[in-house]
Amino acid sequence: MQNMQDETPLANNHISVDCVVIGFDKERLRVLLVKRTGEEAGDIYNDMKLPGSLIYEDEDLDEAAQRVLFELTGIKSVNLLQFKAFGSKNRTSNPKDVRWLERATKLKVERIVTVAYMAMVKIDRALSKSLEDYQACWIALEDVKTLAFDHNLIIKEALVYIRQFVEFNPSILFDLLPRKFTAAQLRILYELVYDKAMDVRNFHKKIAMMEYIIPLEERQKGVAHRAARYYKFDKKAYNKIRR
């Protein structure tokens, strides 16, 4: 019996990283996307993609992901979590995507394996002048349309990973919130992450049981409704409890 290796050609793979950067605007979860615009060789580009790049020969995967976000946002120390690799042979099934990438990289592209990273950041921290240079913007998750390659699938898998991660490390949610936040903002964030409504009273009881969520004397100002109390996340208290 002839060895399969003698019959089946090996894949000529490129390696890339893609970053799913999630932010929270106090009402909705948003993802950072990059615009692809222009017209080349009969292809019209007016869509969006995740921040990503093929890796350089002299960098490892983590370095490549950090480079992508630094070039895009100016942030040097993002807590990036590698969550999944995507290597389907169908990732480059759309010739339009392949032509765009080949023109951008000046390389012959046959197949791409991408390693996906996830980061949760404060939107005001990530907004910088370089976002406009890269035609990048924050898009609400429910408003995300068809993206390049398999980036819709990558975002979907990132949300699954976030829900699983929050189960044993809820502190990651506070990366999305301002330093001072209200109970309503925290509840809305939980509802968005878990995709289900939560009873207001029960949620307040839940907060009261969390020793690492500290109530402040300060309340909202200049609001039409009853001013809500502010809270803060105490990382030291959280780490102490976790130990």
Q: Where are the domains of the chain?
A: 4-169, 177-242
What is the pLDDT, as a whole number, of residue 122? 86
Domain 4-169 has CATH 3.90.79.10: yes
Rounded distance between C-alpha atoms, residue 144 and residue 2, angstroms? 48
What is the pLDDT, as a whole number, of residue 77? 75
Tokens standing for 74?
A: 């100016």
Burial of 41 (0-12, 13-18, 19+ CB in 10 A): exposed
Rounded distance between C-alpha atoms, residue 180 and residue 182, angstroms? 7
What is the pLDDT, as a whole number, of residue 5? 57
Domain 177-242 has CATH 2.40.50.100: no
55 and 112 Cβ atoms separated by less than 8 Å: no
Consecutive 10-residue averages of pLDDT for the chain (243 residues): 64 88 93 79 74 92 92 79 94 86 83 94 66 80 92 96 92 92 94 92 91 92 82 93 81
Tokens standing for 203?
A: 């949620």
Rounded distance between C-alpha atoms, residue 210 and residue 225, angstroms? 26
What is the pLDDT, as a whole number, of residue 127? 59
Domains 4-169 and 177-242 share a fold: no
149 and 52 Cβ atoms separated by less than 8 Å: no
Would you tell me how many other CB atoms lie within 10 Å of the CB of residue 95? 9
Q: Give CA separation, 225 vs 59, 217, 219, 228, in Å.
A: 52, 18, 12, 9
What is the pLDDT, as a whole number, of residue 13? 81
Residue 158 makes CB contacts below 8 A (sequence gap 6+) with 20, 22, 83, 116, 118
What is the pLDDT, as a whole number, of residue 128? 56
